[in-house]
């Protein structure tokens, strides 16, 4: 996929790519700019009186206000189990087979399911399924998510998108890629643990089970890794090396963090 460096390397740090997000590789044509679909008085209305739009629009178009009923389609890249053993959150991205697909930047969004009807909470989609979902966008402590989901339809089984490989320093809080890739499956390669239990923020208290990773031998603490989707035990010690760490990038408690989804996301 354009924008993913060849396997084994760590991409150089740098500025954000153009909105399309994935530079061409090997002579391939660059991806188009995302189509931003507004929601206003002139918008089409879907089956459930929702405004049909896409994730790119929800993440970048300020004209789609909170509590506007919208419908979007995406592939499930991860989920979180809640206290009642039900799925409390989904994460979806624009599917690479979708005609609207224009690269990974601003292509991911969190879905809050605790306010959804029981038939949705008790029968959630599986990771890798393409779904259409109707709900209301909102800003939740600095990040955009869908809440008050009223309808969810599984369209088909899809192919999990490859993680976006980028430099850890690009993903730190306010880093070059922290906002474009929030809600997106990402990966950092050839990293070591630089710090265990970094200082909590945003009202969180220790222990957080967080650690930081950066490219081996580089100064700087690097990006935070968190166990909110998968509880690893024990927390890796300082200087533990990983050939890759992947997961969903999120913004929570005033920091950007990679949330690993399973032990398979932590490749030593």
**Domain CATH for 237:** 2.40.50
What is the spatial distance between Cα 255 and Cα 50, in angstroms, rounded to a whole number?
32
What is the spatial distance between Cα 25 and Cα 38, in angstroms, rounded to a whole number?
31
Of 154, 138, 161, the closest CA to residue 248 belongs to: 161
What is the spatial distance between Cα 179 and Cα 2, in angstroms, rounded to a whole number?
19
Bridge partner residues of 213 (DSSP): 193, 223
pLDDT for the residue 20: 44
Residues 185 and 221 in one domain: yes
Q: Which of 131, 157, 183 is the last residue of a domain?
A: 157
Q: Dump pLDDT digits (tens) for 49-92.
A: 999 999 999 999 988 999 899 999 999 999 999 877 789 999 99
Among 3-7, 38-42, 116-120, 171-175, whose mean pLDDT is lowest?
3-7
DSSP at 106: T
More confident position, 219 or 26: 219
Question: Per the domain annotation, does 123 fall within a domain?
Answer: yes
> Which CATH number belongs to the domain containing residue 59 in this structure?
2.40.50.140
Is residue 259's pLDDT more than 60?
yes
What is the spatial distance between Cα 201 and Cα 165, in angstroms, rounded to a whole number?
27
Bridge partner residues of 157 (DSSP): 129
Q: What's the domain count of the chain?
A: 2
What is the spatial distance between Cα 233 and Cα 227, in angstroms, rounded to a whole number?
9
Model confidence, pTM: 0.88
Residue listed under structure tokens 């399924």 = 129
Residues 76 and 96 in one domain: yes
Percent residues over pLDDT 70 in the chain: 89
Domain containing 214 equals 164-267
Q: Which of 157, 186, 206 is the last residue of a domain?
A: 157
Is residue 4's pLDDT more than 50?
no
């Amino acid at each position: 996929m354009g924008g993913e460096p060849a396997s084994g390397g760590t991409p150089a740090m740098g500025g954000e790519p153009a909105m399309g997000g994935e530079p061409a590789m090997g002579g391939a044509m660059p991806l188009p700019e995302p189509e931003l679909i507004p929601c206003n008085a002139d918008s089409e209305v879907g089956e459930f009186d929702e405004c049909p739009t896409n994730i790119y629009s929800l993440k970048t178009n300020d004209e789609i206000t909170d509590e506007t009923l919208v419908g979007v389609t995406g592939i499930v890249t991860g989920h979180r189990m809640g206290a009642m053993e039900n799925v409390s959150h989904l994460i979806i991205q624009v599917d690479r087979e979708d005609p609207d697909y224009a690269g990974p930047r601003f292509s991911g969004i969190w879905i809050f399911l605790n306010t959804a009807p029981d038939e949705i909470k008790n029968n959630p989609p599986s990771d890798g399924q393409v779904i259409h979902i109707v709900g209301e966008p909102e800003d939740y402590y600095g990040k955009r998510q869908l809440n008050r989901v009223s309808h969810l339809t599984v369209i088909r089984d899809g192919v999990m998108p490859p993680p976006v490989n980028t430099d850890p320093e690009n993903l730190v809080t306010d880093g070059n890629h922290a906002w474009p890739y929030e809600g997106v499956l990402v990966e950092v390669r050839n990293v070591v643990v630089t710090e265990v239990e970094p200082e909590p923020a945003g009202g969180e208290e220790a222990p957080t089970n967080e650690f930081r990773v950066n490219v081996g031998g580089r100064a700087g603490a690097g990006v935070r890794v968190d166990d909110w989707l998968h509880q690893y035990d024990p927390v890796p010690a300082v200087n533990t090396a990983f050939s890759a760490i992947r997961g969903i990038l999120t913004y929570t408690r005033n920091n950007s963090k990679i949330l690993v989804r399973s032990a398979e996301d932590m490749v030593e």
